[in-house]
Amino acid sequence: MADFNIRALNGEDRALSREVLDGFLSGIRGVAVTETSPEYDASRQIWNAMIEKRPALIIRAAGQADILRTINFAREHELLLAVRGGGHNIAGKALCDGGVVLDLSALRGVHVDPQARTVRVEPGATLGDMDHETQAFGLATPLGINSTTGVAGLTLGGGFGWLTRKFGMTVDNLVSAEVVTSDGDLRKASETSEPDLFWAIRGGGGNFGVVTSFEFRLHPVGPEVLSGLIFYPLAEAPQILRRYRDFVAEMPEELSVWAVLRKAPPLPFLPESAHGTEVLALALMYAGDPETGWRAVEPLEELGTPIGKHVGVQPYTAFQAAFDPLLTPGARNYWKSQDLATLNDAVLETVVDYAWHLPSDECEIFIASLGGAMARVPSDATAYAGRDANFVMNVHTRWRDAAADGQCRQWARAFSEAVAPNATGGVYVNFLSQDEADRVHAAYGGNYERLAGIKVRYDPANLFRNNQNIAPAGSGQGREPESVEG
């Protein structure tokens, strides 16, 4: 029987005997998928349709034992390994060419302890899975803004959303985690157990092992919250964004207001004449008593002349999924992001200028207002270092036709370069695209050297390298940025 060809860590192809492969697979309870499997193409699809990779072997884990076995197999044979949770990572790090993909997406359990106000979450769970369970008890923790995002990837990069100003980053609410490290050991990481590992996984990505279980602290939220959208014509954006800047500097921590510049989708509360036109939308949520919230958000309608609004008391889970229709799988996506301490006039002028020249109808620029609780945590308290980012700006370029790849990527790059002189120099690691390995150091700032030192202890051979990689200190394994045409 012919050998099985698979990619090694050094980038070369390696031939494994069928006896070795079958011996490994005989101990797997989940599903093994190869290029000859009928479900192969479906199994390698992820959120970003720009990513086209062909793994040699995909293991859909059915439990912890499959995770341990796959990691041990990859280490013993020095095989290229990728780890997939929700498959939502913009850079496509959930897949690899020619190697092994450890797919955790079937592990979606969420277990709430309402008395302790904690929740334990498996690594394939999405934000929607977690919110569904925690909101049954009127509880939540800060997560992202798209319900199909994986909890694991979001958390390991830091995690922020509508509750961050009030309750901090996702990692600020992580109580403990169970982590399988490259040596095949299952470790409990917390403030008192493996504290260096616990520090590193709170923002350091998947560099240190595979998390098989997350435990989060929960807070009373919902089940209904004041939230919604207010739309303005883009022509009014220069004055509105300056007033927005002043407003967010004084707003209560319960309130989050994000600015989104894009072409108006065909929402029922917008006049048909506005559909497809350039707009500025303010997205808001108040994490507190809705009656108090009404008074807090009232001034937002006076920033300009709204062309439509949909603000009211609705289920927290509904607002968490409100942007899902704009972020469905199957589109081509390329992001550029900048951390900002302030929104000075130069930044606002650049934002508006580029918003008038969106390269496709699905592109958008969003500015998330942070600060509050997340900013009171010292920058070296967790691996996530961007505590000085009062605003995170994401240039979300999204299109359908591959022929537009060059045009769309160039627009995003030019915009990011124009904003960079007024940015902090930092960047949110979860927003790094596939050609930005050179920005990983900037993502961690002063925390990078400590992370590289911890990497030596827990992954000295850099088995977990198919990510925004932190090479082991002294290894000389720093990678060149991946090439992307255009």
Query: What are 351-405's pLDDT values in tens digits?
Result: 999 999 999 999 999 999 999 999 999 999 999 999 999 999 999 999 999 999 9
Q: What is the reported pLDDT for 477?
A: 67
Task: Tally the C-alpha atoms within 13 A of residue 14's C-alpha that lie toward its C-beta.
Answer: 19
Closest CA to 80 of 50, 49, 104, 58: 58
198 vs 193: CA distance, rounded Å? 8
Residue 486 has pLDDT above 50, yes or no: no
Q: What is the mean pLDDT of residues 467-476?
A: 89
Instruction: Provide the pLDDT for residue 474.
Output: 81
Least confident of 1-15, 57-71, 112-126, 304-318: 1-15
The whole-angstrom separation of Cα 290 and Cα 294 is 6
Whether the pLDDT of residue 485 is over 50: the answer is no
Condensed to tens digits (0 to 9), the pLDDT of residues 279-320 reads 999 999 999 999 999 999 999 999 999 999 999 999 999 999
**Is the pLDDT confidence value at 484 over 80?**
no
Mind listing the pLDDT tens digit for each residue in 259-287?
999 999 999 999 999 999 999 999 999 99
CA distance 387 to 393: 14
Contact 80, 461 (CB under 8 A): no
What's the pLDDT tens digit per position in 157-207?
Answer: 999 999 999 999 999 999 999 999 999 999 999 999 999 999 999 999 999
pLDDT digits (tens, 9 = 90+) for 93-151: 999 999 999 999 999 999 999 999 999 999 999 999 999 999 999 999 999 999 999 99
* CB within 8 Å of 268: residues ≥ 6 apart: none
Per-residue pLDDT at 480 exceeds 80: no
pLDDT of residue 478: 52
Residue 468 has pLDDT above 80, yes or no: yes
Once rounded to an integer, what is the mean pLDDT over residues 47-54? 96
Tell me which long-range contacts 236-241 makes (C-beta under 8 A, separation of at least 24): 236/280, 236/304, 236/305, 237/261, 237/280, 237/351, 237/352, 237/355, 238/348, 238/349, 238/352, 239/303, 239/304, 240/280, 240/303, 240/304, 241/280, 241/343, 241/348, 241/351, 241/352
Any idea which of 41-50, 133-142, 310-319, 477-486 has the lowest mean pLDDT? Answer: 477-486
Please write the tens of the pLDDT for every residue from 208-255.
Answer: 999 999 999 999 999 999 999 999 999 999 999 999 999 999 999 999
Q: Which domains does the chain have, with CATH numbers?
A: 4-103 (3.30.43.10), 110-220 (3.30.465.10), 224-437 (3.40.462.20)
Number of H helices, E strands in the chain: 14, 20
Average pLDDT, the chain: 95
Are the C-beta atoms of residues 296 and 252 closer than 8 Å to each other?
A: yes
| Cβ partners under 8 Å of residue 243, min gap 6 | 303, 304
pLDDT in tens, 18-28: 999 999 999 99
